[in-house]
Amino acid sequence: MRYRSTRGGLSGITSAEAIKMGIAPDGGLFVPDENTTIDMNFIESLVNDTYQERAEKILSFFLTDFEKNELAGCVSKAYGENFSTPDIVPLVSLHEHLHMLELWHGPTCAFKDMALQILPHFMVKSIEKTGEKAKIVILVATSGDTGKAALEGFADVDGTHIIVFYPNGGVSEVQRLQMVTQTGENTNAVAVNGNFDDTQSGVKRIFNDEKICELLEAKGYRFSSANSINWGRLVPQIVYYFSAYADLLRKKSIKPGEKINFVVPTGNFGNILAAWYAMSMGLPVNRLICASNENNILTDFIISGTYDRRREFHKTLSPSMDILISSNLERLLYEVSGKDSNLIRSYMNDLGAKGYYSVNNSIREKIQNVFWAGYSNDEETLACIRSVYGDYGYVLDTHTAVAMDVYDKYVIYTGDLSQTVIVSTASPFKFNQSVARALFGSETEGLDEFELLKLLSEKTGWEIPKGLKDLDKKEILHKTVCEKDKMDETVMKILNL
Ligand SMILES: *Cc1c(COP(=O)(O)O)cnc(C)c1O
């Protein structure tokens, strides 16, 4: 399998090269050059497999330049004791046709672990395979979740060093403590006196700073990114859609070939795009339901065909979906346009120059044939957490609650009662303030984040995840604070350049 850029500037690339590069030099995203198809026999062969076996089979379609034993090695390091359940991604049924795919049993309690626990191992292998001698330095700017997941994934992985920058005062106390208590000889977390945009611009400047890159090369280092547009982050996400289907077959909730719905709480369009790739391979899907919060740019796009970023940015209770540029949408447009790079380039130019683009009717219809879109505001999100807890005793985090609420709207609108999987992207304990307030109202007043964790656990009977328990008792290992225009100096100091 070879890869090419969505914008047409590069093709014939191996998966190892695509993973090492992250983004194509023409600004496009790497996509597979050929279509992969599987049949029902293949899906049925997954039914009695472990998650690791399912992962090896599906990854092997895409990472064809990796040996079987190399893939097995990456998989076993990524999905093992670091997850709180041997199932890795349990499928929990709320009623006979509604199921929760829990993607948050990894070390940081959010679904980003599914990709970031395995990406570092792909990266190390990719470096080896492409003859790269340099040690890879990963730079990350984070608004909260990605930073910790990347630190945890790269910690003590040979041949890599990771530096995460987060806005000082701009992340929750739990998120901050998760990062500053990170162990590992090769990890650094740095607070930046500025907001998330300052932090992200700072990281971009360092990537493009020729002087730093030269110094880096002389020392035997090279920059790379763990950004969500890296193919190495997308491909592991395809696995759990097959896994969910195989689990429904095993439970006899569906018959082989029966089409099901997936509801995905969406931000950068990575998770739901992985579902689309699974469907394009032959996974029986009825609808992919794209759930947004008040930053509902994707809802508008799927309904109207116009992607218009000229709108207000909302800070919501589901912060990991507070995004106005859904980068991975570019891959979907490329695929449904019949791989028309010229068209994709013109859309992306319009987005940059005018702030919007409109797709042609054929693309809009192809998207509408598969996707249904809706959104929920904060009030609806909190009400949904309350009602699902009341009905099923099941505790949703704010992101998953957006998905559940949009699903309710979907059922009212369409009357479709197909078997449905809600993709659950975070542990409720990770967003305990909102969840505890939704469920227990005034009882939560005046409590700090750790008291809230305890309250939530005592009242619901759900256990506090290992990664969040005792966070306030762990040693603070990262104390560096830097000014927003001194991030380059901080990197040079850390790496001894
Ligand atoms: C990142 C994230 C999302 C959004 O996923 P995308 O792949 O960016 O669409 C949803 N929920 C949680 C908890 C996340 O961390």
Separation of CA 131 and ligand 1 centre (Å)? 33
Taking each continuous run of H as one helix and of E as one strand, the counts in the chain are: 21, 15
Cα-to-centroid distance, 27 and ligand 1 (Å): 22
Cα-based distances in Å from 476 to 68, 189, 422: 40, 11, 36
Find the residues whose C-beta lies inside 6 A of ligand 1.
Answer: 110-112, 145, 228, 265-271, 320-321, 399, 425-426
**What is the mean pLDDT of the segment spanning 195-203?**
86
pLDDT tier for residue 208 given thresholds of 50, 70 and 90:
confident
Between the CA of 104 and the centroid of ligand 1 the distance, in Å, is 11
- For the chain, what percentages of helix, strand and coil (3-state, to nearest 5) are there? 50, 15, 35
Confidence of residue 29 (pLDDT cuts 50, 70, 90): very high
pLDDT of residue 200: 84
Distance (Å, whole) CA 57 – CA 65: 14
> How many Å apart are CA 309 and CA 376, to the nearest integer?
18
pLDDT of residue 183: 96
Confidence grade of residue 204 (pLDDT, cut at 50, 70, 90): confident
C-beta separation of 291 from 262 below 8 A: no
Ligand 1 atom at minimal distance to the Cα of residue 426? 13
**d(Cα 309, Cα 312) in Å, to the nearest integer?**
8
Question: Domain coordinates of the chain in residue numbers?
Answer: 72-109+232-429
Ligand 1 atom with least separation from CA of 397: 13
Question: What pLDDT does 189 receive?
Answer: 97
pTM (2 d.p.): 0.95
Contacts by 349-355 with C-beta closer than 8 Å and gap 24+? 351/307, 351/309, 351/325, 355/308, 355/309, 355/310
The residue annotated as part of the active site, out of 20, 77, 112, 479, is: 112
Atom of ligand 1 nearest to the CA of 265: 10
Mean pLDDT to the nearest integer, 170-190: 92
Of 424, 18, 95, 108, the residue nearest 240 (C-alpha)? 424
- The protein residue whose alpha carbon is closest to atom 8 in ligand 1 is 268
Under the banding of pLDDT at 50, 70 and 90, the label for residue 129 is very high
Q: Which atom of ligand 1 is nearest to the CA of 271?
A: 7
Name the percent of the chain lying above pLDDT 90. Answer: 85
Ligand 1 pocket test, pick from 320, 331, 376 with the greatest ligand atom count within 8 Å of Cβ, gives 320
pLDDT band at 64 (very low <50, low <70, confident <90, very high): very high
Per-residue pLDDT, 295: 95
What band does 428 get if pLDDT is binned at 50, 70 and 90?
Answer: very high
Q: Which residue of 262, 268, 290 sits with most ligand 1 atoms within 8 Å of its CB, as the best mutation to test the pocket? A: 268
Q: Which residue has the tokens 């542990």?
A: 427
Give the model's pLDDT for residue 228: 82
CA 457 / ligand 1 centre spacing (Å): 24
* Residue bearing the CA closest to ligand 1, atom 14: 320
Q: Which atom of ligand 1 is nearest to the CA of 145?
A: 15
User: One-letter amino acid identity for 439?
Assistant: L
The confidence score (pLDDT) of residue 307 equals: 97
Residue to mutate (ligand 1; options 235, 399, 422, 430; most atoms within 8 A of CB): 399
Cα of 400 from ligand 1 centre, angstroms: 10
Do the beta carbons of residue 336 and residue 276 sit within 8 Å? no
Probe residue for ligand 1, chosen from 231, 290, 321, 323 as the CB with the greatest number of ligand atoms within 8 Å: 321
**What values do phi and psi take at 144, rounded to 5?**
150, -75
Exposed e or buried b per residue across 388-413, where buried means at least 16 C-beta atoms within 10 angstroms of its C-beta: bbeeeebbbbbbbbbbbbbbbbbeee
Tell me how far apart the alpha carbons of residues 284 and 287 are, in angstroms, rounded to a whole number: 10
Backbone angles phi, psi at 302, to 5 degrees: -70, -30
SS3 per residue for 453-477: HHHHHHHHCCCCCCCCCCHHHCCCC
Ligand 1 centroid to Cα of residue 265, in Å, is 7
Q: Which amino acid is at 247?
A: D
Per residue in 465-495, pLDDT (tens digit) is 988 988 889 999 999 999 999 999 999 999 9
Q: Which of 38-47, 62-71, 133-142, 416-425 has the lowest mean pLDDT?
A: 133-142
Q: Which atom of ligand 1 is nearest to the CA of 104?
A: 13
Cα(277)–Cα(35) distance, integer angstroms: 9
Contact 75, 56 (CB under 8 A): yes
User: How far is ligand 1, taken at its centre, from the CA of residue 371, in Å?
Assistant: 17
Q: Tell me the C-alpha distance between 236 and 23, whole Å.
A: 17
Decide if 112 is catalytic: yes
CATH of domain 72-109+232-429: 3.40.50.1100
**Residue 425 CA to ligand 1 centre (angstroms):** 7
pLDDT category, 227, cuts 50, 70, 90? confident
Q: Distance, CA 351 to ligand 1 centroid (Å)?
A: 22
pLDDT tens per residue across span 355-386: 999 999 999 999 999 999 999 999 999 999 99
Q: What is the mean pLDDT of the chain?
A: 95
> Is 374 in contact with 410 (CB distance < 8 Å)?
yes
Chain segment 300-355, per-residue pLDDT in tens: 999 999 999 999 989 899 998 988 888 899 999 999 999 999 999 999 999 999 99
* Neighbour count for residue 63 (Cβ, 10 Å): 24
Best of 102, 112, 233, 425 for a ligand 1 pocket test (most atoms within 8 Å of beta carbon)? 425
Q: Find the 307 Cα to ligand 1 centroid distance in Å.
A: 19
* Measured distance CA(483)–CA(427) in Å, rounded: 33
Ligand 1 atom with the smallest distance to the CA of 399 is 11
Query: Which amino acid appears at position 212 of this protein?
Result: I
Nearest CA residue ID for atom 1, ligand 1? 320
DSSP string, 359-409: --HHHHHHHHHHEEEEE--HHHHHHHHHHHHHHH-----HHHHHHHHHHHH
**Mean pLDDT of the 103-118 span:** 96
